[in-house]
Amino acid sequence: MSALHRALPALFLVSLACGQVSELGSEPEPLFHLRAHLSQLITPPSEGFTNLRAGLMWAGVPVFVPYCFEYGTNPTKPLQLPTKVAKVGCRDPFDIVPGLGGPTVSIDPNTQTFQIPVTQLPSAEVLIGTLEQRMAFASIIVFDDINGDGELDLSRGCGQFGGGGRPREPIYASSFTSLRKRQTRVSYVEGPFDLDSFYYPHPKCPQVPPEGFSIWEVDEAFAFEPDCTIHDIYHEVELTPVAPLELRPLTCVQRERESFPRAPRMQAPDEDDVWECTKQGGLAVSNPGCQCPEVRVFTLSGCSDDLECEKPEWDVRETPPEWWPCEPPNP
Q: What angle do CA 286, 256, 139 make, to 5 degrees?
A: 90
Instruction: Band the pLDDT of 7: cuts 50, 70, 90.
Output: very low
3-state secondary structure the chain: CCHHHHHHHHHHHHHHHCCCHHHCCCCCCCCEEEEEEECCCCCCCCCCCCCEEEEEEEECCCCCCHHHHHHCCECCECCCCCCHHHHHHCCCCCECCEEEEEEEEECCCCCCEEEEEECCCCCHHHCEEECCEEEEEEEEEEEECCCCCCCCCCEECCCECCHHHCCCCCEEEECCCECCCCEEEEEEEECCCCCCCCCCCCCCCCCCCCCEEEEEEECCCCCCCCCCEEECCCCCEEECCCCHHHHHHHHEECCHHHHCCECCCCCCCCCCCEEEECCCCCEEEECCCECCCCCEEECCEEECCECCCCCCCEECCCCCCCCCCCCCCCC
Q: What is the pLDDT of residues 204-230, one digit of tens each?
A: 898 999 999 999 999 887 777 889 999
Residue 18 predicted with pLDDT over 90: no
146: phi then psi, degrees, rounded to nearest 5: -60, -40
Confidence of residue 114 (pLDDT cuts 50, 70, 90): very high
Q: Are 54 and 105 in contact (CB under 8 A)?
A: yes
Instruction: Report yes or no: 90 and 73 within 8 Å, Cβ to Cβ.
Output: yes
pLDDT digit string, tens, across residues 245-268: 899 889 998 888 889 999 999 899
Q: Across the chain, what does the average pLDDT equal?
A: 88
Alpha-carbon distance of 252 to 89, in angstroms, equals 12
Distance from C-alpha of 53 to C-alpha of 41, rounded to nearest angstrom: 13
pTM, 2 dp: 0.85
pLDDT tens string 180-208: 999 999 999 999 999 989 999 998 898 99
Give the span between the Cα atoms of 138 and 119, in whole angstroms. Answer: 15
pLDDT at 16: 37
Nearest-CA neighbor of 249 among 60, 99, 141, 92?
92
Task: Please tell me the distance from the alpha carbon of residue 241 to that of residue 206, in angstroms, as a whole number.
Answer: 29
pLDDT tens digits along 20-62:
443 555 678 999 999 999 999 999 998 899 999 999 999 999 9
